[in-house]
Chains A and B, each alone.
Chain A
Amino acid sequence: MTAVAGLLARRRGRALRVLPLIEIGMLLVALVTPFVLGERTALVTLATNVLILSMLAISFDLCWGMSGIMSFGQALFFGVAGYVIALVGRDLEFSHIWGTLPLAAVTGFLLAGLLGAFLLLGRRTPTVIFVALGTLTGSYAAERLVSGWQYVGAGNGLSSVKLLQAGSYEFVEGVEFYFLALGVLLLVYIAARILKGSQLGLVLAGMRQNEERLAFFGYRVQLFKALVFAQAGAVAGIAGALYSYHQGFIGPGNMGPGLSTTAVLYCLFGGTGTLIGPVIGTAAVEVITYLLADIDAIKRIWPILLGLVLLAVVMFQPKGILGIFVSDRERIGSYGVRTEGQE
């Protein structure tokens, strides 16, 4: 625990809750952002992308930060769902929000459930490395498969994705889409927060620390993991659909190891296991990327600089930016009524 976190964490030996303050602060920032940005549409687009990619980062946090499942394949569910809604729009002329977003969630859920069943539900407990490589392979294989499949646009991907509709209203890139993405992100965030704070969240916190111990308590650890993995897949799927509608494009790179690894970096940068950390990490990485890429003097070397920044954070602040302010105790949470009542 850092000195700042230690200072903030002790109040008669009990945790001072910092996370809700950060969450409220982030919500306020998100609510005023489009008004501050005004007519600068490129920046509104960037902010909307941050919201959408935050969902991808949260999906990874559900896996690793909350449940100890090291997934290097979250982009697989993101990309496949993005393709599915793009194809539904192209071939069925359907892009209604009440149909396509649930479809994207179901697609992500089923695909992740299938992969999770294969990777996690064997008789022997899978190692972290096995799951990491399995998910990475899935993401890579899907990218290669799509790159050579003409029906889905092969290497060019699918462009001119039909606009997302709500009744006769069409969501185009801009402030309206921003608030739609913010609304969906809020729903996803609240659902993840409820899960984390529930008794099921306690099981996940225990699993992450010592899954063998939990198995001997009588928990079906691998089944729990597979279900959380599938749920995280649904979140990634929703994000993929929004991304596809927002960009008007989905391509092989949107389901490959590159984006999967970026989601991991978002989380590590912001702070895993906190839910809000991945959102902060996504915003930080995307804004730094945008700023560095726009400076003439370093236009050619900005990816190296970004890489160095990320490396520095992961090496010297492994609990991410939030680790400076949030104690381990608060990050992991307390679940009993006794502790709740006393805080």
Chain B
Amino acid sequence: MALLEVRNVGKSFGTLRALDGIDVTVEPGTFHGLIGPNGSGKSTLLKAIAGAHFPDSGSIIFNGRDITAATPYERSRAGLSLKFQITAVLPELSVYDNVLLALQSGESLWSLLRSRSRKILHGDIMTALDRFRLADRADDLAGELSHGQQQWLEIAMALAPRPRLLLLDEPTGGMSPEERRVTGELLQPIRSHCALVIVEHDLDFIKDICDHLTVLDQGKVLDDGTVAQIAQSRRVQEVYTSRV
């Protein structure tokens, strides 16, 4: 069974048709890239999957459950996690507390008030920070990190609740080539338990880490297939050579 099925999804903003009959299927454990020229609808589709936008038509099935009208809270509880395009760490909290906040999200109000889990979660927090090379910055404010480190922190936070599907919106935006390379390395180990849908302009990065690509253009699916298939696609080449 597919982990995520986007079926004939449409979304308009006023007279602009941002998504027009989009179909995308994501299998468990795969890294799925969404690419396309600026304004093709990639981020809008990602936000529709995450619950930041509600589609005007079509349906979104996640793990066998229709989540088309579900709130971000409900989608998160179902196992979806999102990293925003614009870094959305909590700058006035420490790096450590940012991850704690992400990890404790499944707890009840009463449990949070009693603060019973912060000792239990300490190991998981340090493991997450260590994996994303942030352990030595744990006590610093998140706002004091470099841009690349903030991106890593947000990915660490998005992965902390162990989602089944992680949605990444331009995770390498503003990163140096070295940081991009490291980001690819940091993401590989999650493949065993988490699928990935990633929107990214850096095609080299996408080709390096993704198994499957969906190419969007003007709100429609232009092509869909493995990285090798898309690399050979004449329609995709035409769009990229004419507009990118």
Where the two chains meet, the residues of A that have a C-beta atom closer than 8 Å to any C-beta of B are: 13-14, 123, 195, 197-200, 202-203, 205-206, 209-210, 212-221, 224, 227, 328-329, 332, 334-339, 342
Residues of B within 8 A of A328 (CB): 92
Q: Whose C-beta in chain B lies nearest to the C-beta of A123?
A: B71
Q: How far is the CA of A224 from the CA of B109 in the complex (A)?
A: 8
B101 interfacial contact with A, CB 8 Å: yes
Known: A212-B88, A216-B81, A218-B77. A206 touches B93 (CB 8 A): yes
Chain B residue with minimal CB distance to A15?
B139
Are A337 and B88 in contact, CB atoms less than 8 angstroms apart? no
Residues of B near A334 (CB, < 8 A) are 94, 96-97
Of chain B, the residue at the smallest CB distance from A336 is: B96
Asked whether any CB of chain A lies closer than 8 Å to the CB of B210, the reply is no
Which residues of A lie under 8 Å from residue B122 when comparing CB positions?
336-338
What B residues does A216 contact at CB under 8 A? 50-52, 72, 76, 81-82, 84
Contacts A195-B113, A199-B112, A334-B97 given: A218-B104 contact, CB under 8 Å?
A: no
Instruction: Known contacts A200-B113, A209-B93; decide if A339 and B139 are in contact (CB<8 Å).
Output: yes
| Chain B positions near chain A (C-beta within 8 angstroms) | 50-52, 71-73, 76-77, 81-82, 84, 88-94, 96-97, 100-102, 104-107, 109, 111-115, 117-119, 122, 125-126, 138-139, 141, 157, 161
**Once the chains are docked, how many angstroms separate the CA of A335 from the CA of B117?**
11
Contacts of A205 in B (CB 8 A): 90, 92-93
A209 touches B101 (CB 8 A): no
Given A200-B112, A215-B72, A218-B73: A335 and B82 interface contact (C-beta under 8 Å): no
Residue numbers in B under 8 Å from A339 (CB-CB): 94, 96-97, 139
Known: A215-B73, A218-B106, A227-B109. Contact between A335 and B88, CB under 8 A? no
Given contacts A199-B115, A334-B97, A337-B119, contact A218 B90 (CB under 8 A): no
For chain A, what secondary structure do more than half of its interface residues adopt (helix, strand, loop), or is it mixed?
helix
20 A-B residue pairs with Cβ-Cβ distance under 8 Å, sorted by A, are A123-B71, A195-B113, A198-B113, A198-B115, A199-B113, A199-B115, A199-B117, A200-B109, A213-B89, A215-B76, A218-B73, A219-B73, A224-B109, A328-B92, A335-B97, A336-B100, A337-B118, A337-B122, A338-B96, A339-B97
Bound: A224/B101 CA distance, A: 14
The answer to whether A217 and B91 touch across the interface, beta carbons within 8 angstroms, is no
Q: Nearest Cβ in chain A — how far from B16, in angstroms?
A: 21
Q: How far is the CB of B134 from chain A (nearest CB, A)?
A: 13
The answer to whether B90 touches A209 (Cβ under 8 A) is yes
C-alpha spacing A68/B240, complex, angstroms: 45
What is the CA–CA distance of A215 and B161 in the complex, to the nearest angstrom? 13
CB neighbours of B93 from chain A (8 A): 202, 205-206, 209, 332, 335
A272 to chain B, nearest CB (A): 13
User: CB-nearest residue of chain A relative to B81?
Assistant: A216
Residues in A whose Cβ lies below 8 Å from that of B52: 212, 216
Cβ-closest chain B residue relative to A332: B92
Q: Which residue of B lies closest to A204 (CB)?
A: B112
Please, which residue of chain A has its CB at the minimum distance from the CB of B98? A206
Residues of A within 8 A of B161 (CB): 217-218
A202 touches B101 (CB 8 A): yes
Among A199, A329, A342, contact of B118 (Cβ-Cβ < 8 Å): A199
The interface residues of chain B lying within 8 Å CB-to-CB of A210 are 88, 90
Could you say which residues of chain B place their CB within 8 Å of the CB of A209? 90-93
20 more contacts with CB within 8 A, not counting A200-B112, A219-B105, A339-B96, are A195-B113, A197-B115, A198-B112, A199-B111, A203-B104, A210-B88, A213-B84, A213-B90, A215-B76, A216-B50, A216-B52, A216-B72, A217-B76, A218-B76, A332-B93, A336-B96, A336-B138, A338-B122, A338-B126, A339-B94
B82, B89, B104, B161 interface centre (most CB from chain A within 10 Å): B104
